[in-house]
Amino acid sequence: MAIKKVMVIGAGQMGSGIAQVCAQSGYEVLLNDVNREALQKGMQNIEKLLTRSVDKERISEQEKSETMNRLNSTTDIQEVKNCDMTIEAIVENMDVKTKVFRQLDEHAPEHAILATNTSSLPITEIAASTNRAEQVIGMHFMNPVPVMKLVEVIRGLQTSDETYGAVADMAKKLSKTSVEVNDYPGFAANRILMPMINEAIFALHEGVASVEDIDTVMKLGMNHPMGPLTLADFIGLDTCLYIMEVLHEGFGDSKYRPCPLLRKYVNAGWHGKKSGRGFYQYS
Mind listing the pLDDT tens digit of every residue in the chain (283 residues)?
Answer: 789 999 999 999 999 999 999 999 999 999 999 999 999 999 999 999 999 999 999 999 999 999 999 999 999 999 999 999 999 999 989 999 999 999 999 999 999 999 999 998 999 999 999 999 999 999 999 989 999 999 999 999 999 999 999 999 999 999 999 999 999 999 999 999 999 999 999 999 999 999 999 999 999 999 999 999 999 999 999 999 999 999 999 999 999 999 999 999 999 999 999 999 999 999 8
Answer yes or no: are the C-beta atoms of 13 and 143 closer than 8 Å. yes
Between CA 235 and CA 281 the distance in angstroms is 15
Closest CA to 144 of 278, 16, 8, 271: 16
pLDDT for 283: 83
Could you tell me which CATH number the domain at 5-182 has? 3.40.50.720
Name the binding residues for NAD(+). 10-15, 33, 92, 97, 119, 143, 274
Q: What is the pLDDT of residue 103?
A: 98
Nearest residue to 4 (alpha-carbon basis) of 80, 84, 64: 84
Give the pLDDT score at 95: 95
Please tell me the predicted confidence (pLDDT) of residue 90: 96
Query: Domain limits of the chain?
Result: 5-182, 190-274
Helix axes 61-69, 36-55, angle to 10 degrees: 160
Residues comprising the binding site? 10-15, 33, 92, 97, 119, 143, 274
Q: Give the H or E element holding residue 162.
A: helix 161-173
- Return phi, psi of residue 208, to 5°: -65, -45
Phi and psi at residue 272, to the nearest 5°? 105, -150
Q: Which residues are catalytically annotated?
A: 119, 140, 152, 190
- In this structure, are residues 194 and 240 in contact, taking their beta carbons and an 8 Å threshold? yes
Determine the 3-state secondary structure of 12 from DSSP: coil
What integer pLDDT is reported at residue 264 of this predicted model?
98
CB 137 within 8 A of CB 169: no
Q: Does the structural domain 190-274 have CATH classification 1.10.1040.10?
A: yes
| Identity at 15, one-letter amino acid code | G
Residue 2 has what pLDDT?
Answer: 87
Question: Which residue, among 52, 219, 241, 67, has the nearest Cα to 147 in the 3D structure?
Answer: 52
